[in-house]
Amino acid sequence: MTELVPPTQPVPLSVLLGQADLGLRQVAGPREDRPVYAVHTSEMADPVPYLLGGEMLLSAGVHCPGTEGADAYWDRYVSRTVEAGAAALGFGIAPVHDTVPPALLEACDRNGLPLVEVPRETTFTAVARAMWQSAAERRHHELRRMTEAQQALASAAARAHPVPAVLRQLAQHLGGWAVLLGPDGAELSGAGTRPAREASAALAALAARLRPGPSSAADTVGELHLSVYGLPGPAPSDGRLALGVCAAQRDAVDGAIVGVAVVLLSLLTGRREGSADAGRSSALVRLMLGAVPKDVAPLVGQAPDARWTVVHGRRKGRARAGEALWAAELAAGLGTTLIDLDGDGLRALVPGSGGVRAQPGWTLGTSAPVGAEDLARGDVEAARALRRALAERAPLVGHRADAAAGVASLVAPDEARALARARLAPLDGSPALVETLRVWLSLHGSWDRTAVALDIHRNTVRQRIARTAELLDTELSDPDVRMDLWFALKWC
What SS3 class is residue 299?
A: helix
Whether the predicted pLDDT of 32 surpasses 90: no
Are 225 and 203 a contacting pair, CB within 8 Å?
Answer: no
| Percentage of the residues of the chain whose pLDDT score is greater than 90 | 21
Q: How confident is the model at residue 234 (pLDDT cuts 50, 70, 90)?
A: very low
Whether the predicted pLDDT of 476 surpasses 60: yes
Give the pairing of strands 370-371 and 396-398: unpaired
- Residue 258 carries which side chain, given as an amino acid letter? V
Which pLDDT score, from 0 to 100, does residue 129 have? 93
From CA 207, how far away is CA 185, in angstroms rounded? 6
Q: What is the pLDDT of residues 152-164, one digit of tens each?
A: 888 888 876 788 8
What's the mean pLDDT in 332-356? 80
Measured at the alpha carbon of residue 465, what is the angle toward residues 464 and 466, in degrees to the nearest 5? 90
- The full set of domain ranges for the chain reads 11-133, 159-269, 306-398, 408-491
What's the mean pLDDT in 170-182? 88
What's the mean pLDDT in 275-304? 73
- Which among 229, 234, 230 is positioned nearest to 270, based on CA atoms? 234
The domain over range 159-269 is classified in CATH as 3.30.450.30: yes
Q: What is the average pLDDT score of the chain?
A: 82
Instruction: Tell me which of 173 and 207 has the higher pLDDT.
Output: 173
Handedness of CA 208, 210, 213, 218 (dihedral sign): negative
Q: What is the pLDDT of residues 403-418, one digit of tens each?
A: 444 555 556 667 777 8
Q: What is the pLDDT of residues 306-326, one digit of tens each?
A: 888 899 998 886 654 444 445
- Spacing of C-alpha 152 from chain mean position: 28
Superfamily the domain 408-491 falls into: PucR C-terminal helix-turn-helix domain (1.10.10.2840)
Which pLDDT score, from 0 to 100, does residue 107 have? 94
Question: Looking at domain 11-133, which of 3.40.1390.20, 3.10.20.30, 3.40.50.1370, 3.40.50.720 is its CATH number?
Answer: 3.40.1390.20
What's the mean pLDDT in 49-58? 88
What's the mean pLDDT in 4-22? 80
Q: What is the pLDDT of residues 70-125, one digit of tens each?
A: 888 999 999 999 998 999 999 998 788 889 999 999 999 999 999 999 999 999 99
From CA 157, how far away is CA 122, in angstroms rounded? 52
| Percentage of the residues of the chain whose pLDDT score is greater than 70 | 86
Which of the listed ranges 56-65, 74-83, 350-359, 361-370 does the model predict with the highest average pLDDT?
Answer: 74-83
From CA 359, how far away is CA 346, in angstroms rounded? 12
For the chain, report the end-to-end CA distance as a whole number of angstroms: 32
Task: Write the CB contacts of 319 (distance below 8 Å, at least 6 apart in sequence).
Answer: 343, 344
Give the pairing of strands 25-28 and 115-118: antiparallel
Q: How confident is the model at residue 5 (pLDDT cuts 50, 70, 90)?
A: very low
